């Protein structure tokens, strides 16, 4: 039953993206509207947010798209597609852009009105940015820390940005964990 619902959400999202590519924004929005009643709340919210954000970007309303994604930060957390749309709303990459690998601890990340992670949780990020401080800005916007002064950078490294990435922002984030994950090769994410 759950698998069938997830398949329906995925197929509906794909059809809506096809409609957007054809310029049928209203039809795409109308197609995903019934997903609001799905019992797979997180996945349906991701799909709805994704379609709305893509429509806003296509209409050159990048500020509104960015605000929508940050307002819906929980669906964006585990969705590479939403992070890709979010990057489209950010400045373009340039010769100073690097791929930053940052592991943080603490800060009490919030999703919606709820603090989800304590000061003892760890998380890894891969962020395209022109400086470590800019990378932390992108991380802070997504995490919406309840205790921003409690964020501790456990490790940081950087390398050349992948040429195919045209905009700055978060490429990847691990789930928050009470155990610091071992360092991973940047090329794997």
- pLDDT, tens only, 82-112: 999 999 999 999 999 999 999 999 988 887 6
Rounded to two decimals, what is the model's pTM?
Answer: 0.86
The pLDDT of 58-87, averaged and rounded, is: 90
pLDDT at 189 over 60: no
Q: Whose CA is closest to 151, among 133, 128, 169?
A: 133
pLDDT at 175 over 90: no
Give yes or no for a contact between 165 and 100, defined as CB atoms under 8 angstroms apart: no
More confident residue, 187 or 161: 161
E-only strand ranges, 106-168? 110-111, 114-115, 122-129, 152-160
- Domain of 51 in residue numbering reads as 2-88
Number of domains in the chain: 2
Same domain (yes/no): 118, 67: no
Mean pLDDT, the chain, whole residue set: 90
Q: Given this model, what pLDDT does residue 182 score?
A: 62
Q: How confident is the model at residue 76 (pLDDT cuts 50, 70, 90)?
A: confident
pLDDT at 34 over 50: yes
Take residue 147 and report the two structure tokens written for it.
């205790």
Same domain (yes/no): 64, 123: no
Asked if residue 120 belongs to a domain, the reply is yes
Q: 96 burial class (0-12, 13-18, 19+ CB within 10 angstroms)? A: exposed
Element holding 99 (H helix, E strand): strand 98-105
Same domain (yes/no): 79, 102: no
For the chain, the farthest-separated pair of C-alpha atoms sits apart, in whole angstroms, at 49
Same domain (yes/no): 61, 124: no
Share of the chain above pLDDT 90, in %: 71
**Neighbouring C-alpha atoms within 13 Å toward the C-beta of 55:** 19
* Pairing label, strands 110-111, 114-115: antiparallel
Task: Indicate the residue among 51, 67, 88 that finishes a domain.
Answer: 88
Q: Whose CA is closest to 57, among 73, 32, 81, 31?
A: 81
Same domain (yes/no): 54, 107: no
Same domain (yes/no): 79, 11: yes
Buried/exposed 139-168: b ≥16 CB within 10 Å, e otherwise: bebbbbbeeeeebeeeeeebeebeeebeeb
Element holding 171 (H helix, E strand): strand 169-173
């Amino acid at each position: 039953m759950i698998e069938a619902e997830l398949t329906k959400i995925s197929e509906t999202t794909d059809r809506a993206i096809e409609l957007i590519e054809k310029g049928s924004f209203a039809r795409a929005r109308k197609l995903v509207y019934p997903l609001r009643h799905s019992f797979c709340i997180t996945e349906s919210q991701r799909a709805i947010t994704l379609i709305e954000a893509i429509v806003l970007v296509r209409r050159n309303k990048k500020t509104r798209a960015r605000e929508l994604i940050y307002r819906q930060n929980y669906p964006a957390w585990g969705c590479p597609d939403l992070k890709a749309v979010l990057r489209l709303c950010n400045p373009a990459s340039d010769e100073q852009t690097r791929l930053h690998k940052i592991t943080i601890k603490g800060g009490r990340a919030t999703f919606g009105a709820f603090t989800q992670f304590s000061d003892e949780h760890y998380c890894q990020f891969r962020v395209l940015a022109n400086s470590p401080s800019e990378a932390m800005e992108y991380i802070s916007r997504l995490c919406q820390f309840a205790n921003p002064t409690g964020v501790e950078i456990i490790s940081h490294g950087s390398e050349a940005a992948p040429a195919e990435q045209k905009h700055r922002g978060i490429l990847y984030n691990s789930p928050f964990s009470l155990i610091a994950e071992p360092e991973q090769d940047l090329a794997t994410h």
